[in-house]
Amino acid sequence: MRFKTNIVIFDLDGTLIDSSPDIVHCANLALRELGLSPITIEQAKKGIGPGSEKFTRMMLPRGEENRAEEFLRLYRSFYIERCTRGTRLYPGVKDVLERLGKFTLVLTTNKPRYMAEKILRHFGLWEYFGLCLGPEDVSNPKPDPEMICKALNHLGEVPQTAMVVGDTCNDILAGKRAGTKTCAVTYGYSSRQLLQKEEPDFIIDRLTDLIGLLDGEQRTF
């Protein structure tokens, strides 16, 4: 039995926003406070998405793992004050969300929810989402499916009616494990090659391509 998509579940960083300039800047402020060497933006991008534990581990030099808690505390104190300074929406984001008005839109992110809400409100996107979940809402962040399953349970929907849209393997894995359709975007923080290995249902190069994809599906019902 085929199910029509009613719910679109978006990731945030690397999918709706390019937050890497603010993330690398704040990570380097924290590293400087600890007397450690700065990281590059390419290093930072590799740590965006998997959650705070892996992010911290990837930001700290080898042998400094015992300073993870201190680094994360410093980083978050800098980031909450600077999280919208260099961050930008990807092209077409607001228009896409506007045109998806007939769908229920959900945000699931491994970024703390209070940070995600601040960013969404800054860019005027908060109103588009019926639900926003972060790591504080679940026991296990993505790629565990718990966040997506919790969103679907809250909405009273089955997984087959939802599509997860994200830029990393974590997003695709979480969606597949939850039983949803999956759509990978190639303009974020993962390469097309990595994303293809997870075999998402769809791969798009621009978020605006999502409109045609969903419209095409709707016409078949």
Number of Cβ atoms within 10 Å of the Cβ of 166: 31
State the DSSP code for 186.
S
* 3-class DSSP state of 194: helix
* 3-class DSSP state of 10: strand
Q: At a CB cut-off of 8 Å and minimum separation 6, what does 11 contact?
A: 49, 107, 108, 109, 142, 164, 165, 166, 167, 168, 171
- Tell how strand 104-108 and strand 7-10 pair up: parallel
> In terms of Cα–Cα distance, which of 47, 2, 60 is closest to 20?
47
Active site amino acids: 11
Can you spell out the DSSP letters for 20-66? HHHHHHHHHHHHHHTT-----HHHHHHHSSS-HHHHHHHHSPTT-GG
Q: At a CB cut-off of 8 Å and minimum separation 6, what does 65 contact?
A: 57
The whole-angstrom separation of Cα 18 and Cα 21 is 8
